[in-house]
């Protein structure tokens, strides 16, 4: 469909350019001519014609035309329309290095409006509409840019899953044309395409990358082994693929299946994480360390990252206090299982020094590291979703005190004072919050796994 604003802006500029060029002629500047032969054949000599060099005259005065009021508006409309590279490829006589593509497209359009016309530079409606039709055709064929990224370790059963406005998941098999990336062709596990439709400004692309990272964070808070491939790809309807590096990488050994029945739950959770993602404080730092752990080659390699995140949330006194294992067990195991859970967490903590020293850590080390990752994931997810207050230390110590009323609990008041934290605001009552509240008395973070992934 033709754009009225683009047509109006280009027509206004053409009128101003026509007046400026005619004024230059009236001031004494002359349009050059080229002598060409026309109608020549074997039996007769051709006639010589004089063709005005309107393009050369326009180029001589181009810097003046760019200062016209309508030039800026025309370039802004061209930027919104897009498809300029293809338009220039089709109609520009030459490509000028170092010139912004918007200016080059407007210059090419001006040539097409006045080219092969008389040196009077009067606007002919038929010629203007033909020139506008050329640029409009390329705009329509280019269409909107699509930003595609590959999410590894997850697959959706539906042909299309809307996550947010302008964000969609689709099976890799639904993509008719793949980018020139071997990772898209050689996937050996679940993989899903995430598609966004960014604007054409730098800020729009930066926002799109942020939305990609938010989606990756949400999925990592659900299950391990999910990561974006290192390159995203942009493509218009006619343009070539263009690579866009994505910071970070990560494990892609997940086996997550999104069923049609779970799509609404996924959409709600992704929206909650995007809105409530912490920007500062211990929780934000712990989430960052968690994501660094997800980017390691296996859970054992990410053990230190996950322990650092847990210490930030649960051991503000420092590792010498020895309270981390008990607090994790209090929050992530049922009362009857807290003693063996404490022992396993303590064993996992001891692995850290062995890994640093290069000592063999035994066959169950990977399973222990995966448990630590699972505990951290559950706690981060529940705090971000609003199930738990951010002061996990006080909650853990309270659960431990209830289990052993005769023993003094950790100095929770002193800990809270030393952390100088403001009380966390109550969670917003989101209509799309699919996760109910959990009673603190029987809270067990790792048993609250979501039903989204099978």
Q: For residues 262 and 452, is the Cβ–Cβ distance under 8 A? A: yes
Where does the pLDDT of residue 427 fall: very low under 50, low under 70, confident under 90, or very high at 90 and above? very low
pLDDT at residue 264, as a whole number: 92
User: What confidence category does residue 423 fall into, taking pLDDT thresholds of 50, 70 and 90?
Assistant: very low
- pLDDT of the residue at 444: 55
- Rounded to whole angstroms, the Cα distance separating 227 from 297 reads 11
Nearby residues of 171 by Cβ (< 8 Å), 6 or more positions away = 155, 156, 157, 159, 192, 193
pLDDT value for 431: 33
pLDDT band at 198 (very low <50, low <70, confident <90, very high): confident
Pairing mode of beta strands 256-258, 154-156: parallel
pLDDT, position 249: 74
pLDDT of residue 192: 92
pLDDT above 70 for 35: no
pLDDT band at 158; cut points 50, 70, 90: very high
Q: What residue has token string 């607090």?
A: 327
The per-residue pLDDT for 184 is 87
Encode pLDDT of 248-285 as tens digits. Answer: 778 888 888 999 999 999 999 999 998 999 999 999 99
- 195 has pLDDT over 60: yes
Pairing, β 154-156 against β 227-228? unpaired
Q: Note the pLDDT tens digit of each residue in 207-222.
A: 888 888 889 999 999 8
CB 73 within 8 A of CB 19: no
Helices and strands, number each (H, E), in the chain: 17, 11
Q: Tell me what pLDDT residue 20 has.
A: 92
245's enclosing H/E stretch is strand 242-245
Are the CB atoms for 323 and 313 separated by under 8 Å? no
Residue ranges per domain, the chain? 4-142, 146-257, 278-447
C-alpha 191/C-alpha 183 separation (Å) is 10
Pairing of strands 167-171, 242-245: unpaired
* Percentage with pLDDT > 70 across the chain: 78
**Structure token digits, residue 65:** 């035309």
pLDDT in tens, 82-115: 667 777 877 887 766 677 888 888 999 998 888 7
* Range 333-338 average pLDDT: 91
> In percent, how much of the chain has pLDDT > 90?
36
pLDDT of 402 > 50? The answer is yes
> Among 189-193, 284-288, 415-419, which is the least confidently predicted range?
415-419
In three-state form (DSSP H/G/I as H, E/B as E, the rest C), the secondary structure along 103-158 is HHHHHHHHHHHHCCCCCCCCCCHHHHHHHHHHHHHHHHHHCCCEEEEEEECEEECC
Q: Tokens 């979703």 correspond to what residue?
A: 385
Label residue 120 by pLDDT band (50, 70, 90). Answer: confident
Check residue 96 and give its pLDDT: 65
Asked if the model's pLDDT at residue 143 lies above 70, the reply is no
């Amino acid at each position: 469909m033709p754009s009225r604003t683009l047509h109006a802006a280009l027509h206004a500029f053409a009128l101003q350019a026509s007046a400026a060029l005619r004024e230059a002629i009236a001031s004494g500047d002359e349009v050059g001519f080229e002598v060409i032969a026309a109608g020549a054949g074997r039996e007769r000599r051709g006639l010589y014609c004089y063709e005005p060099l309107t393009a050369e005259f326009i180029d001589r005065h181009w810097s003046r035309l760019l200062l016209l009021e309508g030039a800026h508006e025309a370039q802004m409309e061209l930027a919104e329309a897009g498809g300029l590279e293809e338009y220039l490829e089709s109609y520009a006589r030459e490509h000028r290095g170092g010139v912004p593509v918007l200016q080059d497209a407007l210059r090419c359009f001006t040539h097409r409006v006045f080219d092969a016309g008389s040196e009077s530079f009067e606007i002919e409606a038929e010629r203007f509409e033909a020139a506008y039709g050329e640029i409009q055709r390329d705009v329509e064929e280019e269409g909107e840019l699509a930003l595609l990224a590959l999410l590894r370790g997850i697959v959706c059963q539906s042909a299309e899953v809307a996550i947010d406005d302008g964000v969609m998941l689709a099976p890799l098999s639904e993509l008719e044309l793949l980018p020139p990336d071997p990772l898209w062709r050689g996937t050996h596990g679940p993989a899903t395409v995430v598609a966004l439709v960014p604007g054409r400004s730098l800020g729009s692309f930066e926002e799109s990358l942020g939305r990609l990272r938010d989606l990756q964070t949400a999925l990592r808070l659900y299950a391990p082994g999910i990561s974006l491939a290192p390159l995203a790809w942009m493509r218009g309807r006619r343009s070539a693929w263009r690579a866009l590096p994505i910071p970070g990488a990560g494990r892609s050994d997940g086996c997550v299946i999104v069923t049609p029945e779970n799509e609404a739950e996924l959409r709600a959770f992704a929206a909650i994480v995007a809105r409530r993602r912490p920007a500062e404080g211990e929780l934000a730092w712990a989430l960052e360390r968690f994501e660094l752990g997800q980017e390691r080659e296996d859970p054992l390699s990410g053990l230190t990252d996950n322990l650092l995140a847990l210490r930030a949330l649960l051991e503000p006194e420092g590792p010498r206090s020895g309270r981390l294992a008990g607090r994790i067990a209090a929050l992530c195991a049922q009362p009857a299982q807290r003693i063996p859970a404490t022992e396993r967490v303590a064993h996992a903590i001891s692995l850290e020094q062995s890994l640093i020293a290069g000592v063999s850590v035994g066959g169950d080390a990977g399973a222990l590291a995966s448990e630590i990752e699972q505990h951290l994931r559950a706690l981060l997810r529940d705090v971000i979703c609003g199930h738990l207050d951010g002061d996990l230390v006080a909650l853990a110590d309270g659960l431990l005190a209830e289990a052993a009323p005769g023993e003094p609990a950790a100095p929770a008041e002193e800990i809270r004072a030393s952390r100088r934290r403001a009380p966390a605001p109550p969670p917003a009552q989101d209509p799309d919050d699919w996760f109910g509240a959990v009673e603190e008395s029987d809270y067990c973070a790792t048993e609250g796994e979501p039903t989204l992934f099978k």
